[in-house]
Homo-oligomer: A and B are copies of this chain.
Amino acid sequence: MTMVQVSREAARQIPAEGLYLDDLQAGQRFTTGTYRLDEAQIKAFAVQFDPQPFHTDEHAAERTFFKGLVASGWHTAAITMRLNVESGPPLAGGFVGAGGEVSWAAPVRPGDVLHVESEVVEVTPSRTRRDRGTIVLLSRTINQRGDVVLVQKARLVVLRKAAA
A54 to nearest B CB, angstroms? 7
Most chain B CB neighbours (cut-off 10 Å) among A45, A75, A97: A97
Q: Which residues does chain B contribute within 8 Å of A13, judged by CB atoms?
A: none
For A36-77 the 0/1 string (1 means CB < 8 A from B) is: 000000000100111111100000000011000000111101
- Chain A's interface size range is 35 or more
Q: Which residues does chain B contribute within 8 Å of A45, judged by CB atoms?
A: 78
13 additional A-B residue pairs with CB within 8 Å, beyond A52-B95, A65-B96: A50-B81, A50-B82, A50-B95, A51-B85, A52-B94, A53-B94, A54-B94, A64-B94, A65-B93, A65-B94, A77-B77, A100-B102, A101-B102
- Between A and B, 28 residue pairs with Cβ closer than 8 Å are A48-B78, A48-B82, A49-B78, A49-B79, A50-B81, A50-B82, A50-B85, A51-B85, A52-B95, A64-B94, A65-B93, A65-B94, A65-B157, A72-B78, A73-B97, A74-B77, A74-B78, A74-B81, A78-B78, A97-B104, A98-B103, A98-B104, A99-B102, A99-B103, A99-B104, A100-B101, A100-B102, A101-B101
